[in-house]
């Protein structure tokens, strides 16, 4: 069965890993890529809008610049390799898509472009217009300026965030593995998991942190994190093998992470955030209240971590782990002064009229 057929999935995001696009010597696997272009053309002809999240810039640039360790020996090498490789990567995509009658457009994004709300909406508007015009956006992280502190770090989570911004119903992560296994697939007795209805601790425990090729930056941990982001936005996500020809038109083995009912756009954006400025820890009673749809009150908060200001994204953590993400109604210093105190006491503590909650339910997304 075809993954995310056009009739059921008007918009599709396809992520392609470095090991699929670039051979071990640093050259483009052009014949394979031409097959992907043909698959995309068939889907577009059937009425599906497709965007591609493409790795490969660092690997391509490292070869052109003669850099060791695939361009990943240092941050400076990776940035230089990305700068040289991205222009080559964009050119290859323009050629192979142009050969099947499609126009490619390049979008380079940073973490801040999708984490800061206004910039996120601008990126979403650009992406939406390109897809409406029948263009195939080719998206990558702008590794030439990204640092360890301000980057996605892998294109799996980037693809999930792009799906959220585009309102896509499906994401396909083409990889060097055909899905999730109950343990490292190299181990005897490893069992393939074809379908995941809910991501819980047991599923996360199956993740193998390695990248089989050594060329990319994402392993199964990043793919499960991507599935969580995509599912929160109402998009299904499939991990499928790209080690075959024409993988987007072949019923290959895969793992499908099934999306639940999608959250409103703002809450989906909050749920997918990666760069929380701090954390508010809560007791068991407050945790139950959040699950019941209540706002976070100071009386149930037990500890503040990090430094943040009003409007910053924070995580809310209960006795069993992270419960939610939301926008803080207070600076961290004032929030700390209110810990465990009843609402009636807040005005006297702060010296000004308090807000109703530390994090209001309208600015919070449960995870």
> Sheet containing 236-241: which strands, arranged edge to edge?
104-109, 136-141, 49-54, 11-16, 170-175, 236-241, 254-257, 195-196
User: According to the annotation, is 362 in a ligand binding site?
Assistant: no
Expressed in angstroms, the distance from the first to the final Cα of the chain is: 31
54 is in an annotated binding site: no
Query: How many whole angstroms separate alpha carbon 100 and alpha carbon 97?
Result: 5
Cβ–Cβ under 8 Å, residues 182 and 207: no
Is 356 a known ligand-binding residue? no
Q: Judge whether 184 is annotated as a binding position.
A: no
User: 213 labelled as ligand-binding?
Assistant: no
Label residues 334-366 b or e (16+ Cβ within 10 Å = b): bbeebbebeeeebeeeeeeebbebbbbbebbbb
- List Cα–Cα distances, 23 to 7, 33, 61, 153, in angstroms: 34, 12, 13, 21
Q: Is 155 annotated as a binding residue?
A: yes
Ligand-binding site membership of 262 (annotated): no
Q: Is 25 annotated as a binding residue?
A: no
Q: Is 222 annotated as a binding residue?
A: yes
Asked whether residue 218 is marked as a ligand-binding residue, the answer is: yes
Q: Is 328 annotated as a binding residue?
A: no
Is 85 annotated in a binding site? The answer is: no
Q: Which residues contact residue 339 at a Cβ distance below 8 angstroms, ignoring those fewer than 6 apart? A: 298, 301, 302, 303, 304
Identify the CA nearest to 114 among candidates 273, 227, 236, 233.
Answer: 273
To the question of whether residue 107 is assigned a binding role by annotation, the answer is no
CB 218 within 8 A of CB 174: no
List binding-site positions: 15, 55, 143, 155, 175-176, 217-223
List binding-site positions for ATP: 15, 175-176, 217-223
List binding-site positions for substrate: 55, 143, 155
């Amino acid at each position: 069965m075809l993954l995310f057929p056009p009739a059921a999935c008007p918009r599709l995001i396809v992520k392609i890993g470095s090991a699929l696009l670039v051979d071990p010597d640093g050259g483009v696997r052009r014949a394979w890529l031409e097959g992907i272009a043909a698959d995309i053309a068939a889907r577009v002809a059937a009425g599906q809008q497709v965007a591609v999240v493409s790795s490969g810039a660092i690997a391509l640039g490292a070869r052109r610049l003669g850099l060791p360790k695939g361009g990943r020996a240092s941050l400076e090498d990776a940035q230089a390799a990305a700068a040289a490789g991205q222009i080559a990567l964009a050119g290859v995509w323009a050629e192979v898509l142009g050969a099947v009658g499609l126009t490619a457009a390049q979008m380079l994004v940073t973490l801040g472009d999708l984490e800061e709300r206004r910039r996120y909406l601008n990126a979403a508007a650009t992406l939406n217009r390109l897809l409406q015009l029948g263009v195939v956006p080719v998206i990558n992280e702008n590794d030439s300026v990204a640092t360890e502190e301000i980057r996605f770090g892998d294109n799996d989570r980037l693809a999930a965030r792009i799906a959220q911004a585009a309102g896509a119903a499906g994401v396909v992560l083409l990889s060097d593995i055909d899905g999730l296994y109950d343990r490292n697939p190299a181990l005897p007795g490893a069992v393939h998991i074809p379908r995941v209805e809910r991501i819980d601790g047991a599923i996360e425990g199956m993740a193998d942190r390695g990248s089989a090729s050594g060329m990319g930056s994402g392993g199964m941990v990043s793919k499960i994190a991507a599935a969580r982001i995509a599912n929160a936005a109402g998009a299904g996500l499939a991990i499928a093998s790209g080690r075959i020809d024409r993988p987007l038109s072949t019923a290959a083995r895969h793992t499908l992470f099934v999306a639940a009912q999608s959250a409103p756009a703002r809450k989906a954006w909050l749920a997918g955030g990666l760069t929380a400025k701090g954390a508010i820890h809560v007791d068991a009673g407050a945790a139950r209240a959040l699950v019941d749809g209540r706002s976070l009150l100071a009386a149930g908060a037990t500890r503040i971590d990090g430094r943040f200001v009003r409007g910053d994204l924070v995580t809310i953590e209960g006795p069993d782990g992270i419960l939610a993400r939301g926008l803080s109604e207070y600076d961290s210093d004032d929030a700390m002064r209110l810990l465990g105190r009843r609402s009636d006491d807040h005005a006297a503590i702060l010296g000004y009229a308090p807000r109703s909650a530390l994090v209001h339910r309208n600015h919070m997304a449960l995870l």
